[in-house]
Amino acid sequence: MFCSSSEHVNAKSYSDPLIIAHRGANNIAPEETLPAYIDAVKNHADFIEGDLRQTKDGVLVLMHDSTVNRTTNGKGYVSNKTYHQVEKLDAGVKFSKKYRGTRVLNLENLIRHFGTKTKYYIETRRVKGKLTMESLLLKILNKYHLISKRKVIIESFYPTSLKKIHKMNKNIPLVLLIKHNQTVILQINISVIGKRLFMGLD
């Protein structure tokens, strides 16, 4: 990851790299569930990373895929389900019988559990092609003082999402994720976000 401003990240030296728990400790527990994040924090991860999806009724949940098919016992798109429907799904049984009954985690419950004891690396996504989660995300982050205490970095493959966030709060470090064949797009969008743009290869 390359960054253009590190003042709000409290980054370590290059000899002591940051540990970002991608989807939590997902080799030990079901990805993006509370057990996976608890294990990551227990093992001294500097950041816990998670992907946001938004339910039909507007709740932000932690899930990488657009559907619940791969990681739960349910089927269908997250955006077509209410939070109550998503919350009832088993997000652990496909990983291991040990985690049977583990529930899909919503963002606010994750933050309530850890507070400012850890740092968060959060990925935004479009919802049915639209930018709908950014305002709610910042509302939650402000509610728990994660921005003012420099506890969060926001990442996205969508420059428009990062631009929207930057307009709402210019003090949040941002990461533009790119595919290997999108390096030219990166050059175009560096100036769009401003000096707090970070760049990450995926």
Q: Which tokens belong to 84?
A: 């109550």
Helix (H) or strand (E) holding 20: strand 20-22
- Measured distance between the N- and C-terminal CA atoms of the chain, rounded to whole angstroms: 10
8 has catalytic annotation? no
Cβ neighbours of 6 (radius 10 Å): 11
CB-based contacts of 15, cutoff 8 Å, min separation 6? none
User: Which segments of the chain does DSSP mark as H helices, in order?
Assistant: 34-42, 83-87, 107-114, 134-143, 159-168, 183-193
Q: What is the pLDDT of residue 34?
A: 98
Q: What is the pLDDT of residue 1?
A: 37
Q: What is the pLDDT of residue 92?
A: 98
Q: What is the pLDDT of residue 182?
A: 57
**What's the length of the chain?**
202
Q: Of 8, 22, 113, 180, which one is the catalytic site residue? A: 22
Q: Is 62 helix (H, G, I), strand (E, B) or coil?
A: strand
Q: Is 150 helix (H, G, I), strand (E, B) or coil?
A: coil
Q: What is the pLDDT of residue 12?
A: 53
Q: Of 44, 64, 113, 145, which one is the catalytic site residue? A: 64
Beta strands in 43-196 (DSSP E): 47-54, 60-62, 119-124, 152-156, 174-178
Q: What is the pLDDT of residue 186?
A: 46
Q: What is the pLDDT of residue 178?
A: 85
All structural domains of the chain, each given as residue ranges with its CATH number in brackets, are: 17-156 (3.20.20.190)
64 has catalytic annotation? yes
Q: What is the pTM of this model?
A: 0.85
CA–CA separation, 195 vs 192, rounded Å? 9
**Mean pLDDT per 10-residue interval, the chain, length 202 residues:** 41 70 97 98 97 98 98 98 98 97 98 98 96 98 97 96 96 88 48 47 47
